[in-house]
């Protein structure tokens, strides 16, 4: 018979995961460094590239349409 505190565990896969105590927590009030800003440059380029290419293609399509009208 099981007590109130015990749990029945099936014979399947059971993985016990200990609580993580070494998870880094953000420090509030710490000023950003130059490295922090430089590390964001590749991310910003990656995010902006589809937008820039989309605008260029849209402008190119408009110019081609104007050339066809004349």
From first to last of its 70 residues, the chain has per-residue pLDDT tens of 455 555 555 566 777 777 777 776 767 777 889 999 999 999 999 999 999 898 887 777 777 766 655 5
Measured CA to CA, the distance from residue 39 to residue 34 in angstroms comes to 9
Q: Where do the structural domains in the chain lie, given as residue ranges?
A: 34-65
Three-class DSSP category at 24: coil
Q: State residue 40's pLDDT score.
A: 94
Q: State residue 4's pLDDT score.
A: 54
Instruction: Find all residues with CB under 8 Å of 2, minimum gap 6, and list them.
Output: 8
pTM: 0.41
Q: State residue 68's pLDDT score.
A: 53
């Amino acid at each position: 018979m099981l007590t109130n505190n015990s749990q029945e565990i099936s014979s399947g896969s059971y993985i016990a995961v200990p609580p993580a105590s070494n998870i880094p927590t953000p420090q509030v009030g710490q000023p950003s460094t130059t490295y922090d800003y430089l590390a964001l440059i590749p991310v910003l380029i990656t995010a902006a590239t589809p937008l820039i290419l989309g605008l260029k293609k849209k402008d190119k399509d408009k110019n081609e349409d104007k050339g066809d009208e004349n």
